[in-house]
């Protein structure tokens, strides 16, 4: 088995597949890439048992065969090459010989028989959506997912697919993001939770995808396929919390403000906040919002005034500055809207226009109790 391939093209595909490989795999064979060669195409697979990524690229070859190649030494070697053709010759138990413009290199190879194969998705449903829609959904929600091992269902993104549209939700109980696409429908009604690792892999590869992607899913697994790329992942088992119940319906206090000015103010003022609570206070009255923070332990204090459009009763409310910064950073519109009811109730943050037709973004942040002392 032998083939010739561009060093740059191969490195790009291996780096993508390598994002699946763990540093402490349960099975030694998972430290390798599975190479499958047929009809002038090289199929590369990497797995950690829960996630399986497969990508394909064109090579010069009329041979067929398959073998496993150590991932780390292959990646490290390819990173040192400028763009050039590389020749791979697999010699059975003698390993694989790689020839470049500079010389030859030999590494061990292993039988492909020991590499775990991608399981078929039995009784799978199918939904199609533009790649950029899924990328936007992941980009807008993933940062809000939790990290608590005791609540695994909140450590991923919740997918809700139906004939009415698609909804993507993430929350860690302190902040929540709900992203809706009413223009992306599914024939089947389904709900499942996707873990962070496959979502981060998709986030890295989707910007380059122009195709419509296919999403196959059942009760245990989901598979995303587009172009020559396929990612199969295990879903998080469990019931997602009723997130709709925490979204306040009556919010008489309405704020409209420039996003970048608000973000800059929160970033600056938060430097003077308590390092445990990271609290910043927002005080709204008339056409002015005051942003302040204080850390009495170190006698640090900051205060800024911003112009805004505010309709409602005078209100002071505290938030964790890190959550506000994350949310404002994940919006792109020039202005944003915030809605409040009471100082002890969640605040809502939404973009002020700038969305595609059928697109909807809602962010929720829980308040931090203001210390009056």
pLDDT in tens, 125-168: 999 999 999 999 999 999 999 998 889 999 999 999 999 999 99
Q: What residues in the chain have per-residue pLDDT under 70?
A: 371-373
Domain map of the chain by residue range?
2-114, 125-219+229-244, 247-365
Query: Could you tell me the pTM of the whole model?
Result: 0.93
- What is the CATH architecture of 247-365? Roll (3.10)
Tens digit of each residue's pLDDT (9 = 90 or more) over 176-200: 999 999 999 999 899 999 999 999 9
Q: Does domain 125-219+229-244 have CATH number 3.90.1150.200?
A: no
Q: In what order do the strands lie in the sheet with 315-320?
A: 300-307, 288-295, 279-285, 315-320
pLDDT given for residue 119 in this prediction: 78
Read off the tokens for 89: 């010759």
What is the CATH topology of the domain spanning 2-114? DNA Polymerase III; Chain A, domain 2 (3.10.150)
């Amino acid at each position: 088995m032998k083939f010739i391939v561009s060093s740059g093209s191969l490195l790009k595909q291996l780096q993508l597949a390598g994002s699946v490989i763990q540093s402490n795999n349960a099975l030694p064979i998972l430290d390798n890439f599975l190479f499958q060669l047929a009809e002038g195409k090289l199929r590369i697979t990497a797995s950690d048992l829960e996630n399986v990524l497969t990508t394909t690229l064109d090579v010069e070859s009329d041979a067929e065969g398959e073998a496993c190649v150590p991932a780390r030494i292959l990646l490290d070697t390819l990173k040192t090459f400028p763009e050039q053709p590389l020749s791979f010759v697999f010699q059975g138990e003698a390993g694989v010989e790689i020839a470049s413009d500079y010389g030859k290199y030999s590494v061990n190879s292993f039988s492909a028989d020991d590499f775990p194969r991608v399981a078929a998705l039995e009784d799978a449903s199918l939904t199609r959506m533009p790649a950029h829609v899924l990328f936007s959904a992941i980009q807008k929600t993933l940062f809000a997912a939790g990290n608590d091992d005791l609540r695994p269902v909140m450590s991923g993104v919740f997918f809700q697919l139906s004939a009415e549209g698609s909804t993507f939700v993430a929350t860690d109980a302190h902040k929540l993001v709900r992203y809706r696409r009413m223009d992306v429908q599914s024939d089947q009604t389904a709900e499942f939770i996707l873990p962070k690792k496959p979502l981060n892999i998709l986030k890295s590869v989707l910007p380059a995808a122009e195709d419509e992607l296919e999403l196959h899913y059942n009760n245990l697994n989901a598979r995303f396929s587009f172009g020559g790329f396929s990612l199969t992942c295990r879903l998080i088992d469990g019931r997602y919390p009723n997130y709709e119940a925490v979204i306040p319906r009556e919010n008489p206090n309405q704020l409209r403000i420039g996003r970048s000015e608000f973000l800059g103010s929160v970033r600056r003022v938060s430097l003077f906040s308590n390092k445990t609570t990271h609290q910043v206070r927002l005080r709204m009255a008339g056409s002015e919002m005051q942003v302040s923070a204080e850390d009495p332990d170190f006698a640090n204090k900051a205060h800024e005034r911003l112009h805004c459009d505010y309709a409602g009763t005078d209100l002071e409310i505290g938030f964790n500055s890190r959550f506000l910064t994350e949310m404002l950073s994940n919006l792109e519109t020039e202005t944003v809207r915030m809605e409040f009811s009471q100082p002890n109730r969640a605040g809502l943050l939404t973009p002020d226009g700038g969305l595609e037709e059928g697109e909807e973004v809602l962010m929720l942040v829980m308040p931090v109790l203001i210390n009056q002392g």
